């Protein structure tokens, strides 16, 4: 193979790699958004037989337990944090447990699906920095940093 053909092939390989790198950069830039705002409320939801049930809501005014089966479990708590054993108790009734954090911004309050870890880090009323993954059906908080 001549040097000219090798250089031409190398040029095409470099061009393809540049396109791939640019595509990943665009995807990452568009897919993730980092913001700072205040936590308005937190919510735990359970799914059973394809039905969605509100288990509890933590607001600036306190904790509202919506599922009477768990009133004793969450009574006298001003802030909710869920460890693995508590999640196991919730999973005895519900096949899936989902955690939501509502963030108040200038554009209104938006609720985001999140992990148990991010849910536990979030404190109602606190300013947080968070990263949202937008390329899913429900925008999801994938990282959350607290300033306290």
Give domain status of residue 29, yes or no: no
Residue 12 lies inside a defined structural domain of this protein: no
Strand partners, 58: 42, 63
Number of domains in the chain: 1
Q: Coil, strand, or helix at residue 70?
A: helix
In a domain, 119, yes or no: yes
Low-confidence ranges of the chain (pLDDT < 70): 1, 26-30, 148
In a domain, 132, yes or no: yes
CB 113 within 8 A of CB 138: yes
- Beta bridge partner(s), residue 128: 37, 146
pLDDT of residue 72: 83
Q: Tell me the H-state helices in 32-137.
A: 71-74, 84-91, 116-121
Q: Which residues of 109-147 are buried (b: 16+ CB within 10 A; e: fewer)?
A: eebbbbebebbbbbbbeeebebebbeeeeebbbbbbeee
The two three-digit tokens of residue 62, written as one number? 């306190």
Q: Tell me whether residue 44 is in a domain.
A: yes
Range of 88's domain? Answer: 34-146
Does the residue 6 lie in any domain? no
| Helix ranges (DSSP H) in the chain | 3-31, 71-74, 84-91, 116-121
Q: What 3-state DSSP class applies to 131?
A: strand
Q: Please report whether residue 137 resides in a domain.
A: yes
Indicate the pTM of the whole model.
0.77
Asked if residue 82 belongs to a domain, the reply is: yes
């Amino acid at each position: 193979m001549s040097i000219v053909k090798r250089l031409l092939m190398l040029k095409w390989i470099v061009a393809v790699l540049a396109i791939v790198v640019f595509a990943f950069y665009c995807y990452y830039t568009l897919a993730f958004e980092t913001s700072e705002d205040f936590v308005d409320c937190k919510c735990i939801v359970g799914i059973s037989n394809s039905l969605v049930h509100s288990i509890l809501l933590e607001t600036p005014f306190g904790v509202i337990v919506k599922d009477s089966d768990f009133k004793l479990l969450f009574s006298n708590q001003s802030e909710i944090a869920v460890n693995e054993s508590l999640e196991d108790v919730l999973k005895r009734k519900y096949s899936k447990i989902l955690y939501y954090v509502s963030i108040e911004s200038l554009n209104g309050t938006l609720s985001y699906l999140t992990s148990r870890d991010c849910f536990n880090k979030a404190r109602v009323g606190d300013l947080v920095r968070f990263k949202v993954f937008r390329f899913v059906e429900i925008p999801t908080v994938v990282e959350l940093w607290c300033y306290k």
